[in-house]
């Protein structure tokens, strides 16, 4: 996405965060997003507010936003079969994002995990709704305060996930955005990557995985690989080349792994010092965002 397109969803979310900070103070998490959607829309858009947030059997959809015929009110629904509070919260925030950003384009939005993201240069409303949701639920200023001066670990990210009421995956993805060094988050199952998210610094240095283009196996030395199956919830320092062959042989990488709870996949965080001496090296054209569009929302991998 272009910078101007990223800014809009974030600005909407930050405006609401500022209001919530004024009313509730800064120690106000997790965001009560159902309540915020109803009250904020009533105040700001009294002629067509979000009337209700409710659970319903949505048969294959995670969430839905729909207007009544007169467009005098909107309804946000989330799938009643979803048991995870983190997924529900993210879904409601995502639908609220559609309401604020896109309701003049459509009167019904049905959102699932397995939508195909266009990624063809058109503005992607699903990506925008996800960006709105993660910005609203995990404001960066507060997120930075939670992790400031502490070594990153999945325990610390678990603390963030608890604070914001989101999945560990959603918190880990948020962290990669503010990481000061190169960071890559990899989700894997059965020794193969489901998806990977490189932060800007990593992507620019060529340290990323094009998981959309091809199937990528984990290095056999990876903690998340079944060869090393006792290694759940561990950290190791290893040669960067094992993951990224173009890195210099002296480059070390910190690798940490954890199973992502009920979702039956592993998360691996790869951390490397900056590579300022490297020119950007890209084998092939790959959109910078390999992730934000689909699975960020619920901390779920892409459905394949």
Give the torsion through C-alpha atoms of 234, 235, 240, 242, to 10 deg.
-20
- 110 vs 241, beta carbon nearer Zn ion: 110
Task: Decide: is 129 part of the binding site for Zn ion (CB under 5 A).
Answer: yes
Q: For residue 289, what are its two tokens?
A: 């965002």
Q: Least distance in Å: CB of 111 to Zn ion?
A: 3
Closer residue to Zn ion, CB minimum distance, 29 or 109: 109
From the CB of 242, what's the least distance to Zn ion, in Å? 37
Say which residue the tokens 């998340």 belong to. 224
Provide the residue count of the chain.
304
For Zn ion, the closer CB: 132 or 154: 132
Q: How many whole angstroms separate alpha carbon 106 and alpha carbon 155?
A: 41
Tell the smallest beta-carbon distance from residue 100 to Zn ion (Å). Answer: 12
Measured from each CB, the residue nearest to Zn ion is 111
Work out how close the CB of 110 gets to Zn ion at its nearest, in angstroms, rounded to a whole number.
8
| ∠ Cα 156 162 166 (to 5°) | 110
Residues 77-116 that bind Zn ion (CB under 5 A): 111
Q: Say what angle helices 154-164 and 140-147 make with each other, to 10 degrees.
A: 140
Task: Choose between 199 and 291: whose C-beta lies nearer to Zn ion.
Answer: 291
**Of the two residues 126 and 289, which places its CB atom closer to Zn ion in the complex?**
126
The answer to whether 75 contacts Zn ion (rule: CB under 5 A) is no
* Least distance CB 58 / Zn ion (angstroms): 12
Q: How far apart are CA 88 and CA 66, in angstroms?
A: 17
Residue 76 interacts with Zn ion (CB under 5 A): yes or no: no
Could you say whether residue 65 binds Zn ion (CB under 5 A)? Answer: no
Q: Which is nearer to Zn ion, 106 or 150 (CB)?
A: 106
- Tell me which residue of 91, 106, 138, 132 sits closest to 7, measured CA to CA: 132
272 binds Zn ion (CB under 5 A): no
Q: Find the radius of gyration of the CA atoms of the chain.
A: 20
Judged by beta carbon, residue 63 or residue 219, the one nearer Zn ion is: 63
Write down the least CB distance from residue 57 to Zn ion, Å: 18
Cβ atoms of 286 and 210 within 8 Å: the answer is yes
- 202 lines the binding site for Zn ion (CB under 5 A): no
Q: Considering the complex, what minimum distance in angstroms separates the CB of residue 99 from Zn ion? A: 11
C-alpha pair distances (Å), 185 with each of 39, 73, 175:
36, 40, 10
**296 makes contact with Zn ion (CB under 5 A):** no
User: CA-to-CA distance for 246 and 263, rounded, in angstroms?
Assistant: 32
Number of residues interacting with Zn ion: please give it, by CB under 5 A: 3
Tell the smallest beta-carbon distance from residue 98 to Zn ion (Å).
6
Distances (CA, A) of 90 to 31, 67, 86: 10, 20, 6
Q: With respect to Zn ion, which residue has the nearer C-beta, 34 or 126?
A: 126
Binding site for Zn ion (CB under 5 A): 111, 126, 129
């Amino acid at each position: 996405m272009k910078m101007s397109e990223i800014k809009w969803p974030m600005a909407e979310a930050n405006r609401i965060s500022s209001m919530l900070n004024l009313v509730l103070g800064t120690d106000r998490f997790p965001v009560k997003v159902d309540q915020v959607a109803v009250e904020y829309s009533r105040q700001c858009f009294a002629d067509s507010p979000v009337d209700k947030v409710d659970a319903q059997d949505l048969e294959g959809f995670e969430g839905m936003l729909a207007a009544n015929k007169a467009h005098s009110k909107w309804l946000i629904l989330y799938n009643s079969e979803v048991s995870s509070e983190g997924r529900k919260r993210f879904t409601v925030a995502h639908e609220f994002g559609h309401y604020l950003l896109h309701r003049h384009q459509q009167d019904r939005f049905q959102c699932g995990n397995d939508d195909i993201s266009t990624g063809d240069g058109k503005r992607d409303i699903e990506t925008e709704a996800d960006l709105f949701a993660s910005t609203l639920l995990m404001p960066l200023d507060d997120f930075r305060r939670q992790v400031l001066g502490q070594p990153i670990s999945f325990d610390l990210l678990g603390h963030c996930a608890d604070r914001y009421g989101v999945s560990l995956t959603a918190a880990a993805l948020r962290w990669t955005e503010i990481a000061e060094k190169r960071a890559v988050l990899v989700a894997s199952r059965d020794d193969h990557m489901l998806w990977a998210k490189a932060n800007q610094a990593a992507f620019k240095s060529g340290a990323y995985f094009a998981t959309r283009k091809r199937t990528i196996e984990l290095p056999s030395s990876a903690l998340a690989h079944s060869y090393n199956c006792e290694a759940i919830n561990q950290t190791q320092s290893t040669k960067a080349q094992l993951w990224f062959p173009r890195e210099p042989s002296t480059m070390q990488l910190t690798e940490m792994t954890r199973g992502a709870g009920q979702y039956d996949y592993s998360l691996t965080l790869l951390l490397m010092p900056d590579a300022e001496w490297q020119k950007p090296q890209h084998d092939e054209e790959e959109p910078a965002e390999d992730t934000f569009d689909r699975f960020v929302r619920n901390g779920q991998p892409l459905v394949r």
